[in-house]
Structure 1
Amino acid sequence: MTIRFKRETAKRFQNFSRTHFKSHTEAMATMLDFFFYNEISPKEKLGPTGRTIEQSFKKRINAVIAIMRDMEKTQTKPTVTMIQSLFEAEEPKKNTLILEKKFLEEKKEVLLQEKRDINREH
């Protein structure tokens, strides 16, 4: 039985066979088994290739990065600044009780009177 191939196809097969198998027969048998056991045709596409999958991943990763950057700008940074401003805010002024205010005013008056008295003596 004779099988005829075009020279170009025969050379491609020989190169492939030498790099991956011990003999041309073993190469052909393995390829036929592959298609038979996996129930696929050599003419049908197996789906996305490594390059297309990589491009798809890159697009998705870039989308995730864009979402995270947007979250950082619109949510995280403003929240952090608000929290920092709360911690850095000055302590609220201590409101004195009404009784304390009266006592402080009386004390000032006494001090002022003492100064006047001292100035008169000199």
Structure 2
Amino acid sequence: MAAAKPKKVSAPKPKKPQLPSDPVELLRVRVLDALDDLKAQNVQEIDVRGKTSIADLMIVASGTSTRHVKSLADEVVKFAKQAGMQPLGIEGQREAEWVLVDLGDIIIHVMLPRVREFYGLERLWTVGDDMARTAAVG
């Protein structure tokens, strides 16, 4: 009797993470990936819907040096272009202490820690959030 051939069993292919279909959410994911790839520090997302008409989301991140800040901003721009979004504006690249990348619905601020602390964008854009939560609870 002939020996039966062993069946070839292939391992299941790892599933690729499904990218969001919403263009703003896709852009958000791409921006966060870009910042993560180059080791941005203290990345914060601030939902500014209802507070301003200039954007829906602000992302604030820190770099360790002016070179790091510039590299982070350049990477954000590269990833945004790959996602089909041309930046509306980029400010501060020369000094690279605070680089702003305007992607329309999302604005990215990449800053040196001392500049970030001085301007306190997180505090500025979240003022009143605690009072609104307290009023909703109470």
TM beyond 0.5: no
Q: TM-score, normalised by structure 1?
A: 0.23
**Larger helix share, 1 or 2:** 1
**Larger strand share, 1 or 2:** 2
Structure (1 or 2) with the larger CA radius of gyration: 1
Q: TM-score, normalised by structure 2?
A: 0.21
